[in-house]
Structure 1
Amino acid sequence: MEFLYKAYADSGEVEEGRVAAAGKREAADELKSRGLHPMTIRKTGEKKKVSLFKRRRLADLAEEWESLLSAGIPVTETLDILGGGRSGKEKILLGEIKATIEAGHSIAESFAGSRAFPPFFTALLQVGELSGTIPEQLRLAAACYRKEEEFIAGMKSALSYPVFVLFFSFLVFALILTVILPSFAALFDALDIPLPAVTRAALALGLFLQEKRFYFLVELLLGAVGGVVWLRSERGKRSTDAFLFRFPFIRRLYLIRVTLALSALLKSGKTLSDALADIADITDNSAVKEELLKIKKDIERGGDFAQSMERSFGDTALARMIHVGMESGRLPLFLERSAHLMTEETKRKLTGFRKILEPSLLLFVGLVTAAIIFSVLLPVFSAVGTHMGV
């Protein structure tokens, strides 16, 4: 059989390719013999894991399941109860997982094999199953997903109005340039008056867009399709990930997720090295993944974790918290506190940014609209003044 793999080398670089082997275990052994550390291995033609549950639904599921297990109810019965309170795909999925467990597979394997749960969730289940602490791991998962959901909801709330204003402004400008301005062209020709440069430029742009709108729309559509295809390619994704990682705000968002996940995995009993490898496998940004693998390699060589995090993510405050956490033996707690502090700080910055952006956008839209209207009315007023002898 042939397997697709994603692995990292000792240098920290991520490598993807194909390997022929009798099974996944043999494929992993083959990769290790090449000096590679496998992150994901899947059979050729096998679909990638797709999370069916959103963060809120995952948090609800984890909390409900934790309550049932803490009450002493057997795992298979809890899945029956959870499935009974749901409908559609979720109910069918939980029934299939129950059947897989009853067939002799482990809980973590059954959930991972469903391809409907994120790796972070199944990683915590695996730790809980090995250590006998599944309820505790479910509690950690629920808390982590709740915090992520709360943060993302705050971001959407802060950015929704500016995005709406920009979109509506684009429609208004398009209407003015392609419909309203060209309708004045005949009037200006009839008046036979010299037009100011701003009016000539606005009219030329409006007439061009009106005459070439079909070609313009086709080119825009082709460009959008080409852009989507490129973004979905491996090269495009890596370039986009690296570009986004350069922005401090985007880097901070990923750092919050990494810190929350790392705190949860360390609380579950994972070693720091294993936790970093798991999070690298979870993250969807290749630049973040490579940085995490570099940090993992660095600490395995005896490097300082706090300094490695600061070099990769450039956050001095987090590095100080990590240093204190490691010195006190309470790293998971300090990571969780750091994530909370970074979340609150980012929310405040978003709120401040929104307070500045909203009036700035309105002022910009008003000025551009006024400039366009002025470019149309100026020659009209000039012609009227000339006609009246003013």
Structure 2
Amino acid sequence: MEAFQYQALNAAGRTTSGVVQADTARQARAQLRAQGLLPSMIKQVHARERAQQVWARGIAATELSLVTRQLATLLDSGLTLEQSLNALIEEAADPMTREVLTGVKTEVTSGQSFAGALGAYEKSFPDFYRALVHGGEESGALPTVLQHLADYLDARQALKQKTSLALLYPVLVTIVAIMIVTGLLVYVVPQVVQVFQQSRQSLPLLTRTLIALSDFLRATWPYLLVIIGSGFAAARIALRRDATRRRVHSLLLRTPWLGPLVRGFNTSRFASTLSILVGGGVPLLSALASGARVMTNMVLREAVEHAIERVREGASLARALGETRAFPPLLIHLVASGEVSGKLEQMLDRAAHLETQALERRLTVFLTLLEPVMILVMGGIVLLIVLAILLPIIEINQLVH
């Protein structure tokens, strides 16, 4: 079947659009009429073209987890991949999910592998997702891999929501504080200080500095906005280069507080990926290659690639990972225990769980310390502004008395 994009009028006379599957455009029109729709436009859409149309959007994280779990259940029940995708398309309530799944099914029916079909929709299916699906296809354990992947997506989404809620208060405090300080410097300070300037008295250094800063901001704020915007654009362009991105990633790992967070996040994802793939029967070298692709930090990814070469030469996984000195000792010890006991999957899963717990604790401590620090910094800035305004007033009072 092919995918056809349509526009039609419903019984209420309103325009509706979507995607329908059919062998020909005539069959697509017949399906729409059977649903009580009057088609005004029918257009065949190829998967690559559909991928470009939904590039800026994608399946929501919660929806992706649900679709993954449903697909695992359908495949485990004995349905083929095409039949499972058909069922998911029919049941999908979200139009975007339906369109993406339709495009994926079109790619699959044209001869693409499932992982290859997902590659046309990178916005909906990230690198680690496609890497795990590729490993599951190679091992023939795709339903098991998808089930574990759904569990992992649920856990990651829960951690993301917890982090977002924790960051909400500091972000709001920062935005409000910046607005208040900017308002004071641009509008309040010039009007108050004008009185002191007219009195022709010698102003304190702090007050003169504040006046100079206020004048600078009022005169240059359009240029500052352009400079900031250009800086962000230049940074994005620079980060597209592997050498620049590697230096930044290396710096992140060495940064206090932030470095352990980055290392813990990547270690948890790496251990989860290996656990899922090894449990699904994927050969260790192939599982490590998939694990390297899910790493977001280039330094850690290169460490995994080095470990792959050492394992290929005959070294144990624990020794290969330990030689890189890039991963926490906890992971190395548990991997070594798993290799000796023959329970590598369970030890990797335990390592991922422990690293996730450690990551959550670090995030909690980091955010707990961040809030008072931000309040103190912003309070100190406001205090300086108030002192700069009050000092001339105090001096005038002393002269009067």
TM-score by length of 1: 0.79
Q: Match of 1:331?
A: 344
Q: Output the CA distance in 1 between the equivalents of 2:281 and 2:168.
A: 40
Q: 1:302 aligns with which of 306, 309, 314?
A: 314
Measure, in 1, the Cα distance between the counterparts of 2:263 and 2:138: 34
**Aligned residue number for residue 354 of structure 1:** 367
**Which amino acid letter does the alignment assign opposite residue 360 of structure 2?**
K
The one-letter code sitting in structure 2 at the alignment partner of 1:286 is M
Of 374, 378, 385 in structure 1, the residue corresponding to residue 398 of structure 2 is 385
Match of 1:83 in 2: 89
**Quick check: 1:53 aligned with 2:59?**
yes
Q: How does 1:1-390 map to 2 (within 5 A)?
A: 52-86=58-92, 87-112=94-119, 117-246=125-254, 247-310=259-322, 311-387=324-400, 389=401
How far 1:82 sits from its partner (Å)?
Answer: 0.5
Q: Give 3-state SS (helix, strand or coil) of 1:232's partner.
A: coil
Deviations 1:8-49 (CA, angstroms, capped at 9, x unpaired): xxxxxxxxxxxxxxxxxxxxxxxxxxxxxxxxxxxxxx99x9
Gaps of 5+ in 1: 1-45
- Which amino acid is the alignment partner of residue 290 of structure 1? E
Partners of 1:232 and 1:248 in 2: how far apart?
24
Equivalent-residue separation in structure 2 for 1:173 and 1:147 (angstroms):
39
- Give the structure 2 partner of residue 23 of structure 1: none
- Are 2:132 and 2:290, in contact at CA under 8 Å, matched by a contact in 1? no
Task: Give per-residue Cα distances to partners, 1:249-286, cap 9 Å, x unaligned.
Answer: 21221111111111111111122221111222333432
Superposition RMSD in Å: 2.7
Asked if the contact 2:136–2:282 (Cα under 8 Å) also holds between the matched residues in 1, the reply is no
Q: Residue type matched to 2:334 in 1?
A: M
Q: Match of 2:270, as an amino acid? A: V
Q: Whole-Å Cα distance in 2 between the matches of residues 251 and 370 of structure 1?
A: 38
Say whether the 8 Å CA contact 2:285–2:311 is kept in structure 1: yes
Query: Does structure 2 conserve the Cα–Cα contact (< 8 Å) formed by 1:144 and 1:261?
Result: no
Q: 2:132 & 2:360 partners in 1: Cα distance?
A: 28
User: Could you tell me how far apart the structure 2 residues matched to 1:131 and 1:216 are?
Assistant: 55
Residue 287 of structure 1, CA deviation: 1.9
Distance (Å, rounded) in 2 between the aligned partners of 1:315 and 1:332 = 18
| Closer, same or farther: CA 204–66 of 1 in aligned 2, 3 Å | same
Cα-to-partner distance string for 1:222-244 (whole Å, 9 max, x where unaligned): 32332232223444323322322
Unaligned runs of 5+ in 2: 1-50
User: In the TM superposition, what is the alpha-carbon distance from 1:114 to its structure 2 partner?
Assistant: 5.5
Does the Cα contact within 8 Å between 2:274 and 2:348 map onto a contact in 1?
A: yes
**Cα offset, 1:120, TM superposition:** 3.7
